[in-house]
Amino acid sequence: MATETLPATFRDVMGAELGALKAAGLFKEERVIHAPQGAEIEVEFPAGAPLKKVLNLCSNNYLGLSSHPDVLAAAHAGLDRRGYGMSSVRFICGTQDIHRELENRLTEFLGTEDTLLFSSCLDANAGVFEAILSDKDVMIADRLVHASIVDGMRLCKAAQDTFKHSDMGHLEEKLVEHADKRFRLVITDGVFSMDGDLAKLDEIVALCRKHDAMVFVDDSHASGFIGETGRGTPERFGVLGKVDVITTTFGKALGGASGGCVSGRREIVELCRQRARPYLFSNTLASVIVAATLKVLDLVSATTGRRDRLEQNARIWRRLLTEAGFDIKAGESPIVPVMLYNAKLAQDVARDLFAEGVYVVGFFFPVVAKGQARIRTQLSAAHTMVHLDRAIEAFRKVGKKYDILGKSKNEIVERYGL
């Protein structure tokens, strides 16, 4: 039996580590959904509990396209026409006409020079830095960039540095400090996933122009809906075509299945095609996802109706929360964090909201900074006014129970601690 080959202490050591995670309140349990992704879903939680119909305020289904009939039809057609699997990496025998078609469509959509598909944006971020930079260069990242960027940077031999979140003065200090490097790449998220705030991309591009540095943006929480026609943060800040590298995902607004890309300067993308290890050593993106993503691009290019609806929902939700007396992070994105500061309070409020039929998740250290625990709510174009009214009713009820409505940060911290 396999278990006989384990070192005698392995199960004890691993068991203790799992126990420590549970004791620290960091043990993650999956909630099983018995329905397609959508504004309302049926959830089994805890395991074995009867199904509960809840309003979903925690998915990245920003445009409501994850289960859209046109996207499903395109996926079915793609399956029929190009099959299920390619059983190959891209450069051996895994590139179909639709892979190239999607790359060209993304290049056009994002306003770049070329694009390369990856199995996920995590893979894109894991491969891009190592492919284009060497030990003669430096990567200077905003301190709140996504974990996949941090991992990708660790795989690259270039020097690393960071700047305080969205602090342009600090970024410029770093650009000057590293002026002796061959290339300097400034790295940021377009929309920061935990705070929902946008990078000051116009200022970052201007600073990089001034100091002859390059700009990298992960626009995963922006592609499809930020900017007047949903081209992302470069469009929102008037710097389309001026960002050297964009990575993004199809796993959020753009259909929500999986897949991602590196898009940007032709030479950068070509070097990724030659060297990026997740591209070279991982299977091609499944044809069914490629076909569905092409349809998603058709839908988001044909009308701005969905991103306009999402923008309106986010504005209404922010107003409802503020009027109810919640302390929220200001911003313009559909990520709306409700600040609770105390980790246990965030978990208790999330649990009570679930009981009230609203599915949200509490986030706390180490996912966010200590003393910054929160519930992250995320809006979708699939939410209706009826949904938002129901959600705010539940939030009001739970907020009242914990006596946090109309309370300042200091008052919440005084009562619940940090």
Partner 1 sequence: MNELKKTILDYIRREYIEEGDERELKTDTPLITGGIVDSFSMVSLKRFLERKYTVKIPDADATPEVFNTVDSIVKLVERLSAVEV
- Where do contacts with partner 1 occur on this chain (CB under 8 A)? 141, 143, 150, 160-162, 164-165, 365-366, 369-371
Closer CB to partner 1, 137 or 161, in the complex: 161
Minimum CB separation of residue 170 from partner 1 in Å reads: 8
DSSP 381: T
Active-site residue, selected from the candidate residues 193, 223, 263, 287: 193
Closer CB to partner 1, 154 or 401, in the complex: 154
Minimum CB separation of residue 141 from partner 1 in Å reads: 8
Active-site residue, selected from the candidate residues 221, 295, 329, 383: 221
Active-site residue, selected from the candidate residues 146, 178, 181, 252: 252
Minimum CB separation of residue 162 from partner 1 in Å reads: 4
β-pairing, 52-56 with 40-44? antiparallel
Taking 3-state DSSP, the helix, strand and coil percentages for the chain, each rounded to the nearest 5, stand at 45, 15, 40
Closer CB to partner 1, 204 or 289, in the complex: 204
What Rg value do the Cα atoms of the chain yield, rounded?
22
Contact call for residues 337 and 416 (beta carbons, < 8 A): no
Confirm whether 53 is a catalytic residue. no
Confirm whether 252 is a catalytic residue. yes
Alpha carbon distance 332, 343 (integer Å)? 25
On the CB side of 53, CA atoms within 13 Å amount to 4
Confirm whether 68 is a catalytic residue. no
β-pairing, 214-218 with 159-163? unpaired
Alpha carbon distance 72, 146 (integer Å)? 29
| 150 token code pair | 């941090």
Minimum CB separation of residue 391 from partner 1 in Å reads: 31
Closer CB to partner 1, 34 or 143, in the complex: 143
Minimum CB separation of residue 46 from partner 1 in Å reads: 30
Give the H or E element holding residue 55. Answer: strand 52-56
Strands (E), 302-372: 335-341, 358-359, 361-363
What one-letter code names the amino acid at 62? Y
Minimum CB separation of residue 263 from partner 1 in Å reads: 25
Closer CB to partner 1, 150 or 316, in the complex: 150
Angle between the 305-324 and 385-401 helix axes, to the nearest 10 degrees?
20
Closer CB to partner 1, 204 or 391, in the complex: 204
- Give the catalytic positions in this structure: 193, 221, 252
